[in-house]
Amino acid sequence: MSQPHAILAEYDTPADILAAAVKVREAGYKKWDVHTPFPVHGMDDAMGLGNAQVGWFTFFGGLIGFVSGMLMIWFMNKFDYDIVVGGKPLFSGFAAFPVAYELTILLGAFGSLGGMFIMNRLPRHHHPLLANERFCAVTDDKFFVVIECDDPIYNDQETRVLLKSTGANHIEIVEDAE
């Protein structure tokens, strides 16, 4: 059984979509989004998004990388297999630094990419929008505003009127095929 998932409005230019986003936000919608072929400059502010939180994943990834790198080297060269090589100290932060540094970056990078996927709830391969014929153009040259039907202030008539007033050149309902 299919049921309406969201209302979709299509625009031609970044200026139109930016203006539309401001209007939709001011109207008080919560469960809505803008879909664009590339990140539109100023859209984050227009949608009222703050600072993205991906940085925490990077930070903790890097922290884990550095600490585990140092601990690993201490364990392997000072604790578990302590053999003197060239009269050098068994453990020294200087000699251990390059490897710990690389591991900081390695796990920080995994944290960034993984954090991006987690924050975006991706991968999601069966999104109702991906089944929409018209929505194909989102990765080419069209811009879309999508307001979900279960938004608290969504109303079939009023939402359509609002989107029409923002200059959308096409409006349709996206079905969620269950």
Partner 1 sequence: MSEAAGQTVETHTPEELARPTYVLNNHPFGWITDKVSSIVEDKMPRWWNVAFGVSFLTMMMCFVMIGYLFTTGVGVWGLNHPVAWGWAIVNFVFWIGIGHAGTLISAILFLLRQKWRTSINRTAEAMTIFAVICAGIFPGIHVGRMWYAWWLLPIPNANSVWPQFRSPLLWDVFAVSTYFTVSLLFWYMGLIPDLATIRDRLRKNAGKLTTGSAKLINRFKQFMYGLFAMGWTGSNRHWWNYEKAYLLLAGLSTPLVLSVHSIVSFDFAVSQVPGWHTTIFPPYFVAGAVFSGFGMVLTLMIPMRTLFKLEDIITIRHLEYMCKVIIATGSIVGYAYAMEFFIAWYGGNPYELYAFKNRAAGPYWWAYWIMISCNVICPQLFWFKWCRTKVWFIFIISIFINIGMWFERFVIVVVSLHRDFLSSSWGYYSPTQIDILTFIGTFGLFMTLFLLFIRYLPAIAIFEVKAVTPQANPHHELGGAKTKNGPKKKGGGNQ
Nearest CB to partner 1, comparing residues 143 and 154: 143
Nearest CB to partner 1, comparing residues 141 and 157: 141
Among the listed residues 7, 8, 9, 96, the single contact to partner 1 using CB under 8 A: 96
* Cα–Cα distance measured from residue 103 to residue 110, given in angstroms and rounded to the nearest whole number: 10
- Crossing angle of helices 93-119/54-74, nearest 10°? 150
**Contact range with partner 1 by CB under 8 A, out of 2-10, 89-97, 150-158, 170-178:** 89-97
Radius of gyration for the alpha carbons in the chain, expressed in angstroms and rounded: 25
Is there a contact between 70 and 44 (Cβ–Cβ < 8 Å)?
no
According to the binding rule CB under 8 A, does residue 41 interact with partner 1? yes
> In whole angstroms, how close is the CB of 157 to partner 1 at the nearest point?
26
* Cα–Cα distance measured from residue 142 to residue 139, given in angstroms and rounded to the nearest whole number: 8
According to the binding rule CB under 8 A, does residue 12 interact with partner 1? yes
**Contact range with partner 1 by CB under 8 A, out of 1-9, 70-78, 148-156, 158-166:** 70-78
User: Binders of partner 1 among 102-161, rule CB under 8 A?
Assistant: 102-103, 105-106, 108-110, 112-113, 115-117, 119-120, 122-127, 129-130, 135-141
Nearest CB to partner 1, comparing residues 61 and 157: 61
